[in-house]
Amino acid sequence: MSTYLIKGASLLGERVADILIEDGKIARIGQDLETADAQVVDASGQIALPGLVDIHTHLRQPGYEASETVETGTRAAALGGYTAVFAMANSLPVADTAAVVEQVDRLGKESGWCRVQPIGSVTVGLKGEFLSDIGSMATSEAKVRVFSDDGMCVYDPAIMRRALEYVKTFDGVIAQHAQEPRLTEGAQMNEGKVSADLGLTGWPAVAEEAIIARDVLLAEHLNSRLHICHLSTKGSVEVVRWAKSRGVQVTAEVTPHHLILTDEKARTYDPIFKVNPPLRTEEDVLALRQAVADGIIDVIGTDHAPHPAESKECEWACAANGMTGLEQALSIIQMTLVEPGHITWADVARIMSETPAKIGSLDAEQGRPLAEGEPANIVLVDPKATRVIKPEEQATKGKNNPYRGMEVPGAVRATFYAGHPTVLNGELASPRR
């Protein structure tokens, strides 16, 4: 394995140092390091962060390769600074057996652009009727620890209770897509003034908040771990705040798009802005940003959801839900949270690397601090760079990007995955194999 010397990086934006990488680990950190056989990477003016970890990615394989593959999705992840992603279970077949999660695990290892950790479904076929084979997925080679029916809500409280009881036996976690189905039948966008103006069926905030309230009570009763996917409303923040004040083992994520876009985008009737949960109000957006700053929201999850063009180039009601997100997530977080002063770059390392790795039980290798002896999972970002988002130039197959034409700050210059550079000079280098 090659040796690399990163020169002049700002560690978490706090102090400038050199980083020597040998045998996949951080060998030394210090000033004016020199070694004869190392490839030098000039990181002047760049911030070094631990490799990012996405707790919520849709890689679509197996079954939906027209939308994305593990190969294309992890290329996008590497370009976004990620060294690990958790792959959601809504593939075809659904990841509800050991065989399917092991296939996803194998595809990730063959790809080599980042660590791919499969998420298993909570129920068979995501239908919400019977628990999936959670035990076999947990003991499989993939060692699944996160289970989710994302895209669908585990709406039956008895099923949810049994799932929380089951995963408690091996310190697993249930990641809930909080959406009361009876309150969102036919819903097209956030319920509010804009939906009334447009005559589109609304998706009320209470449909999210009611499920979160129910599930934190179940988690408290069972002393089990619960994770809330893509939290999107001010009311949901308050429910989670209350649960945490009681010591409930609950964590929550927010997506970059819910931190910057509002339901006003629906006035364009452009289905690129159709997503589940829907874009909410400006009041919700500001509450979500504050919740990240307060630590009520624990992590950023991209909910990267690529679709083929025909699924978005149609009328709003017929369009698929979802947006891509891996390649610009860090820029959106810099724009909405770092530059306004809500959080620091050290906080970015916590919410986009350390904590998601802990939630998903990958913290032995991912989300580790930038310290000697630790795995060399590192991203170098130039915070002063600016770029215009051009979806057609991105690595993901999905061009359903809501930021098209937007100028955003920050650019990933290099990504090191276990000491191997998957990205150098802002471009894909080679996979780690």
pLDDT digits (tens, 9 = 90+) for 155-199: 999 999 999 999 999 999 999 999 999 999 999 999 999 999 999
Residue type, 324: T
Q: What predicted TM-score, i.e. pTM, was given to this entire model?
A: 0.97
Instruction: Indicate whether 320 belongs to any domain.
Output: yes
- Whether residue 149 lies inside any domain: the answer is yes
Known binding residue 276? Answer is yes
What is the span of the domain harbouring residue 423?
Answer: 4-47+373-428
Place of tokens 């980083």: 19
Digit-coded pLDDT (tens) for 223-262: 999 999 999 999 999 999 999 999 999 999 999 999 999 9
Q: What is the mean pLDDT of the segment spanning 136-163?
A: 98
Tell me, yes or no, whether 190 lies in a domain: yes
Same domain, 25 and 67: no
259 and 402 in a common domain: no
Classify residue 290: in a domain, yes or no. yes
Binding site annotation covers 420? no
Q: What is the pLDDT of residue 116?
A: 98
Residue 67 shares a structural domain with residue 135: yes
> What's the confidence (pLDDT) of residue 36?
87
- Residue 403 shares a structural domain with residue 279: no
For 358-376, write each residue's pLDDT tens digit: 999 999 999 999 999 999 9
Q: Given a cut of 80, is residue 1 above it in pLDDT?
A: no
Q: Give the integer Cα–Cα distance in Å for 377 and 91.
A: 28
Domain end call among 307, 325, 360: 360
- Statement to judge: residues 34 and 107 lie in one domain: no
Which residue is associated with the tokens 């077949």? 93
**Is 150 marked within a binding site?**
yes
Q: Are residues 40 and 28 in the same domain?
A: yes
Q: For residues 253 and 202, is the Cβ–Cβ distance under 8 A?
A: no
Q: Which of 338, 360, 382 is the last residue of a domain?
A: 360
Instruction: Determine whether the annotation assigns residue 377 to a binding site.
Output: no
- Say whether 342 counts as a known binding-site residue: no
Listed in sequence order, the DSSP H helices in 47-114 are 70-79, 98-111
> Among the three residues 301, 336, 360, which one is the final residue of a domain in this structure?
360
Same domain, 55 and 42: no
Are 184 and 282 part of one and the same domain?
A: yes
Q: Give the CATH number, domain containing residue 115.
A: 3.20.20.140
Q: Note whether residue 72 is domain-resident.
A: yes
Q: Which two tokens stand for residue 417?
A: 């995955």
235 shares a domain with 109: yes
Phi and psi, residue 48, nearest 5°: -95, 125
pLDDT of residue 6: 98
| 337-350: pLDDT as tens digits | 999 999 999 999 99
Average pLDDT of span 53-77: 98
The rounded Cα 71 to chain-centroid distance in angstroms is 17
Torsions phi, psi for 338 (to 5 deg): -80, -55
Report the C-alpha gap between 292 and 278 in whole angstroms: 19
> Is residue 353 in a domain?
yes
pLDDT at 424: 98
Domain identity same for 205 and 330:
yes
365 in any annotated domain: no
Give yes or no: residues 198 and 319 share one domain.
Answer: yes
The pLDDT value given to residue 408 = 98
Token readout for 35 is 């070694």
Handedness of CA 345, 347, 350, 351 (dihedral sign): negative
| Residue 400 assigned as binding residue | no
59 marked as part of a ligand binding site: yes
Q: Is 221 annotated as a binding residue?
A: no
Q: Is 230 annotated as ligand-binding? A: yes
Q: The domain that contains 32 carries what CATH number?
A: 2.30.40.10
Cα end-to-end distance, the chain, whole Å? 10
CA 10 to chain centre: 24
321 annotated to a ligand binding site: no
Residue 48: partners with Cβ closer than 8 Å, 6 or more residues away? 6, 9, 10, 11, 12, 19, 370, 378, 379, 380
What DSSP character marks residue 190? E
Are residues 17 and 154 located together in one domain of the fold? no
Q: Is the peptide bond before 93 cis (omega within 30 degrees of 0)?
A: yes
Active-site annotation holder among 149, 263, 284, 303: 303
Q: What is the pLDDT of residues 92-103, one digit of tens each?
A: 999 999 999 999
Residue 372's pLDDT is: 98
Confidence grade of residue 433 (pLDDT, cut at 50, 70, 90): confident
pLDDT beyond 90 at 90: yes
The answer to whether residue 141 is domain-embedded is yes
Give me the sign of the Cα torsion angle 226, 232, 235, 238. positive
**What is the pLDDT at residue 304?**
98
Q: Is there a catalytic annotation at residue 197?
A: no
Tokens, residue 230: 């893509």
Assess whether pLDDT exceeds 90 at residue 329. Answer: yes
Q: Above 90 in pLDDT, residue 430?
A: yes
Least confident of 34-38, 118-122, 351-355: 34-38
The annotation status of 370 as a binding-site residue, yes or no, is no
Q: What is the mean pLDDT of residues 265-270?
A: 97
How many domains, in total, are found in the chain?
2
User: What is the predicted pLDDT for the residue at 205?
Assistant: 98
Give the separation between CA 183 and CA 208, rounded to whole angstroms: 9
Q: What is the mean pLDDT of the chain?
A: 97
